[in-house]
Amino acid sequence: MIKTTIPYLLKRAAFKHPDKEAIVSEKGRWTYAQWEANANKRAQALARRGIKKGDRVATIFLNGNEVLETYLALMKLGAVIVPLNVRLTPGELQYIIEHSGASSIILSDEFESPIREIKNDLQNVKQCFMSGGDVQEDMIPLEEIYHGEPDRDPSEALDENDMACILYTAGTTGRPKGVLLSHRNCVWGAVNIAFNVNLEPEYRVLLVFPLYHAAAFIILIGNLFLGCTNVILKTFDPRRVMELIGEEKINRMTFPPTVWNFILQLPDLEKYDTLSVRAISSGAESMPLETKKKLLDLFPNGALGETYGMTESSATITTLDPKDVIRKMASVGKPFVNVEIRLVDDEGNDAPVGKVGEILARGPNIMEGYYKEPEATARALKDGWLYTGDLGKLDAEGFLYIVDRKKDMIITGGENIFPREIEEVLYAHPKILEAAVIGLPDPDWGEKVHAVIALKEGENLTGQEVKDYCKSRIAGFKKPRSVEFVDKLPRSAAGKVLKRILRKHLDDRRKDYGSD
């Protein structure tokens, strides 16, 4: 009996179109047959070094053929990949590696320094594999070990209910939570993408969004499901994106609105060849109407869609069809083909049309739970429904509108940031009495992190000192971009910081003075 797993999708693609380009990167071009063979060889080599079904393996790569071959090699063995966010600090990486119980790390040479900084403190990690660079004796050279290995597929014993990955996302407690996604979850997420967005087997899809993010990961699997060509850019560069569109005849790409804005700010956009583009998409946050109009002008043959999802839903909950993008400007669309949604009030009753409620979703793409977090899992998954923590409303035609985020999440440049994590860092400063972190509108990044701080009596601190303090303890994209000092934070009778008052105060000040 065929088990529909992620490695099966690659095996099927290699059988159906072996000579079709599967991967295009700055290092070369690979067909589906070559991708399958290379993944099998890597799997055989990793198996010889003890990696087996159920092992958690942490990976840290920039986009490229190496990460695609490594992901598939590990999943063929039944290992669970733990993709690490390349923007995290060594301390943040250490927490995820230790929490996941990873027994091996596979890294590219760009990340040798942060891994070495924590390597000796990782009690469960038995071995490190490195791709590229000058590999020292305490690490295993990834490229060298699989030469001469057979390209026999080792994935026959894999089941679709086996775990494919643990994707870490920020939690309300300030610590990242590991989202457990099975092969079944990921494949059904890919089916959602293949069925409900403008994506065809012949498309050449540009992958720039990093593959440790759920959205990029599921887009990749959707491409694999249909047999599309993956054109991969290592890091985002707006000019290089526009050049690649013409060079590789790109048909589809997806970016958050902030990234689209960086592209639209390029001078002389009219000089680029964009006629090959058939589909463009956005997610992570709402896109202004003016941005939509500019994108449709830049890509005259491109249909514009939008999606709403989260890591816990394999990045797919609702999608807005291109024909409705202007008509339903503020909407995030209707549920994907395999997803149901409900909106409920605080008592669990279904919210009427036009009334705000918490968004619930269910479908085969919904996560299995949070790793080692039974209480958080029980709060998020009830009676088969995922409680998203997002507030929304439905119109009479069934289109969903996001109203607010229950958890005060900040989205900056497509990255999700939870204020509590930054607040915990600030509270550890010996001069800070109390702190609150909120998101403020930013023309380039969508939102920026703003810290409101009350100092201990007699203490002095500058905004720059606060930023420097945070920079050494959390990832750069999480540090406050602006800092405000107050005598005390506004609190409710129950002692809860009233962030809505902080936001209103800043809004009023911007109206009065035209700035932050």
Domain range list for the chain: 1-20+32-159, 410-513
pLDDT at residue 144 greater than cutoff 80? yes
pLDDT at residue 470 greater than cutoff 80? yes
Q: 285: pLDDT confidence band, cut at 50, 70 and 90?
A: low
DSSP line for 398-436: --EEEEEETT--EEETTEEE-HHHHHHHHHTSTTEEEEE
The token pair at 187 is 């494949």
Question: What are the pLDDT digits (tens) for 172-182?
Answer: 345 789 999 99
pLDDT at residue 171 greater than cutoff 50? no
Question: What are the pLDDT digits (tens) for 68-84?
Answer: 999 999 999 999 999 99
Q: Give the model's pLDDT for residue 405.
A: 62
Q: Give the model's pLDDT for residue 174.
A: 56
Q: Give the model's pLDDT for residue 286.
A: 64
Tell me the mean pLDDT in the region 163-174. 75
The token pair at 210 is 């990093």
Cβ(77)–Cβ(51) below 8 Å: yes
Cβ(359)–Cβ(392) below 8 Å: yes
Range with lowest mean pLDDT among 53-62, 310-319, 485-494: 485-494
What is the residue whose two structure tokens read 């409620």?
357
Tell me the mean pLDDT in the region 477-484. 92
Range with lowest mean pLDDT among 247-256, 286-295, 369-378, 394-403: 286-295
The token pair at 487 is 């005598």
CATH 2.40.110.10 is held by the domain 1-20+32-159: no
Q: Give the model's pLDDT for residue 175.
A: 78
Neighbours of 291 (CB within 10 A): 17
Which range in 4-18, 157-171, 292-306 is most confidently predicted, on average pLDDT?
4-18
Closest CA relative to residue 330, chosen from 376, 295, 289? 289
Torsions phi, psi for 116 (to 5 deg) = -60, -35
Q: Give the model's pLDDT for residue 294.
A: 87
Cβ(447)–Cβ(439) below 8 Å: yes
For 156, which DSSP code?
Answer: T
Written in H, E and C, the secondary structure of 294-343 is: HHHHHCCCCEEEEEECCHHHCCCCEEECHHHCCCCCCCCEEECCCCEEEE
Q: Give the model's pLDDT for residue 288.
A: 66
Neighbours of 196 (CB within 10 A): 22
CATH number of 410-513: 3.30.300.30
Distances in Å between the Cα of 258 and the Cα atoms of 80, 213, 284 are: 32, 16, 10
Q: Give the model's pLDDT for residue 514.
A: 46
- Please give the distance of CA 159 from its chain centroid, rounded to a whole number: 25
Q: 516: pLDDT confidence band, cut at 50, 70 and 90?
A: very low
Percent of the chain with pLDDT over 70: 94
Rounded distance between C-alpha atoms, residue 463 and residue 279, angstroms: 43
Alpha helical stretches, state H, 177-237: 183-196, 214-226
Distances in Å between the Cα of 461 and the Cα atoms of 86, 317, 386 are: 31, 44, 43
Cβ(75)–Cβ(6) below 8 Å: yes
CA angle in degrees (0–180, nearest 5) for 57-61-64: 120
Torsions phi, psi for 182 (to 5 deg) = -85, 170
Cβ(104)–Cβ(57) below 8 Å: yes
Tell me the mean pLDDT in the region 356-366. 95
Q: What's the count of helices (H) and strands (E) in the chain, helices before strands?
A: 15, 27
Alpha helical stretches, state H, 17-100: 32-48, 65-76, 90-100
pLDDT at residue 200 greater than cutoff 80? yes
Tell me the mean pLDDT in the region 223-250. 95
Rounded distance between C-alpha atoms, residue 422 and residue 449, angstroms: 9
Closest CA relative to residue 253, chosen from 232, 279, 228? 279
pTM of the shown model = 0.82
Range with lowest mean pLDDT among 70-74, 115-119, 281-285: 281-285
The token pair at 32 is 């589906």
Which helix (H) or strand (E) segment holds residue 182: the answer is strand 177-182
- Please give the distance of CA 8 from its chain centroid, rounded to a whole number: 24
The token pair at 53 is 């079904």
For residues 352, 353, 355, 357, the Cα torsion angle rounded to the nearest 10 degrees is 70
Q: Is the dihedral of CA 182, 185, 187, 189 positive or negative?
A: negative
Tell me the mean pLDDT in the region 198-225. 93
Tell me the mean pLDDT in the region 480-495. 78
- Please give the distance of CA 336 from its chain centroid, rounded to a whole number: 19
pLDDT at residue 515 greater than cutoff 50? no
What is the residue whose two structure tokens read 């915990």?
424
The token pair at 467 is 């930023």
> Is residue 17 exposed (0-12), middle (13-18) or buried (19+ Cβ within 10 Å)?
middle
Neighbours of 393 (CB within 10 A): 18
The token pair at 214 is 């759920």
pLDDT at residue 409 greater than cutoff 90? no
DSSP line for 242-306: HHHHHHHT--EEE--HHHHHHHHTSTTGGGS--TT--EEEE-SS---HHHHHHHHHHSTTPEEEE
pLDDT at residue 494 greater than cutoff 70? no
Mean pLDDT of the chain: 89
Tell me the mean pLDDT in the region 423-446. 86
Q: 210: pLDDT confidence band, cut at 50, 70 and 90?
A: confident
Cβ(74)–Cβ(45) below 8 Å: no
Q: Give the model's pLDDT for residue 173.
A: 42
| Coil, helix or strand at residue 475 | coil
Q: Give the model's pLDDT for residue 406.
A: 62
Tell me the mean pLDDT in the region 398-418. 78
For 367, which DSSP code?
Answer: -
